[in-house]
Amino acid sequence: MSTRTVLQEGTAAAEARAAAALTTEELYRELLRRIGEDTMRDGLAETPGRVEKAMAFLTQGYAMDVATVLNEALFEVEYDEMVMVRDIEFYSLCEHHLLPFFGKVHVAYVPSGRVIGLSKIPRLVEMYSRRLQVQERLTTEIADAIVEAIAPQGVGVIVEAQHLCMMMRGVEKQHSATVTSAMRGVFKTQMQTRNEFLSLVRHGGGAEI
């Protein structure tokens, strides 16, 4: 190992120790200083504390898990037709730039003896969206959580979103939308089930698939 590498690693370790000694609020204050702001002016004096609270709220999904969210709201039923919750609003943060992306989630499943309490599906969406995310992973996490929870005949999830990392920076396209889908079980293997789901999404004014 070269002397230069040793020095670089020593510097990185020292910086990590210095950062660990700061509170989260102090880290945000330092960030404001580094972009050239006066952190003591009226408009910014309380900003680091507000940002700390806002980020805690926006990332609260890390403190949640599927079992707690569902809270045993799983019910035995003799029903084997599609169940759909459409137009679930969500807000998340892109893990690449920490900028928001937001939109709607459409979730459907065909039960196999058990169903989920309807209010719990939006709560699942909330849990996964309140983390640093990419839309593709958000889509599959919702689908896979339902598969694991109730082992249905199939699950379909469509997410349509606008990304501020595309609208405010980079290509700056204001009217673009990103649509992702995850199909499991009969939604993947049976065209009739898949088409019924897509038709219901369209009928509700959702994504143009």
Q: Which residues are catalytic, by number?
A: 94-97, 135, 163, 165
CA distance from start to end of the chain: 55
d(CA 127, CA 60): 8
Write the CB contacts of 138 (distance below 8 Å, at least 6 apart in sequence). 90, 92, 128, 129, 159, 180
2, β-bridge pairs? none
Three-state DSSP class for residue 10:
helix
Write the CB contacts of 25 (distance below 8 Å, at least 6 apart in sequence). 48, 49, 52
d(CA 90, CA 104): 6
